[in-house]
Amino acid sequence: MKTTVGSLLLSAGIATANPLAPRSSGVQGFDISSYQGTVDFSGAYSSGARFVIIKATEGTSYIDSDFSSHYDGATSAGLIRGGYHFAHPDEGSGADQATYFLDNGGGWTNDGQTLPGMLDIEYNPDGSECYGLSASDMVSWISDFGETYNSKTGRYPMIYSTADWWSTCTGDSTDFSTNYPLVLAQYASSISTVPGGWPYQSFWQNADSYTYGGDSDIWNGDSDSLSTFAKG
């Protein structure tokens, strides 16, 4: 997952618990994996960051070696944190990968400091862009993952993707726009395209670097609405 800080132009609105409700401001955060190694969580918090999304698993056989230390470090620094799963739809069912994610750090609790898990579904790093699946089969795979996650946590996972991949590999499906918060990857100073019928993104990965480690993400709201979202 490629994951800076830029100007964010947002529509006015009221902060609510609805993950798709309009937001009125932005909050800095970031995402990381073992690629980053040591991360300055306290420095990030002091600079204004309030959340971090941490790689936990990939496919059905990979657990990020730094997930536990990253999670503990983020917790100690006071950051809202959560895990993400890098999907490999060619390596097992959505249900199997959701279960693997949940068994290895991807769960959610309503303690106000835990984000719902995130499904990182994007370009295949090892082969066919869409993992050999048709658009309808990809939509079914994502639904299998999401429904499994929801059945075990009471929350639908966030979905991370790009507008291009989503259009190409799901046929720009609108099936997830009501219940699944969107984490949109688009490296720019403003957002040009929101895919899949989502009225806007919940989080925006706006660059592939962040001063204190990892990639930059922006929550589409203020700190209070971020806390409300985390609590569910």
What is the tens place of the pLDDT at every residue in 124-167? Answer: 999 999 999 999 999 999 999 999 999 999 999 999 999 999 99
Provide mean pLDDT across the span 204-232. 95
pTM of the model: 0.90
Residue 69 pLDDT greater than 90, yes or no: yes
Query: Could you read off the pLDDT of 72-99 as tens digits, one per residue?
Result: 999 999 999 999 999 999 999 999 999 9
Say how many Å lie between the first and final Cα of the chain, rounded.
25
pLDDT digits (tens, 9 = 90+) for 161-175: 999 999 999 999 999
What one-character-per-residue DSSP string does 22-38 give? --SSEEEEEEE-GGG-S
Question: Domains of the chain, with CATH numbers?
Answer: 26-213 (3.20.20.80)
Question: Which sequence positions are flagged as catalytic?
Answer: 31, 120, 122
**Where does 31-132 have alpha helices with state H?**
41-47, 67-77, 94-103
Taking the C-alpha atoms of residue 221 and residue 113, their distance in angstroms, rounded to an integer, is 16
Residue 221 pLDDT greater than 90, yes or no = yes
Going by the DSSP 8-state scheme, the letter that residue 170 receives in this structure is: H
19 confidence band (pLDDT: 50, 70, 90): very low
Give the pLDDT confidence of 39-53 residue by residue, as tens digits: 999 999 999 999 999
- Give just the sign of the alpha carbon dihedral 96, 3, 231, 41: positive
| Model confidence band, residue 37 (pLDDT cutoffs 50, 70, 90) | confident
Tokens 């609510």, residue?
16
Query: Both tokens of residue 58?
Result: 């990939």
Whole-number average pLDDT of the chain: 90
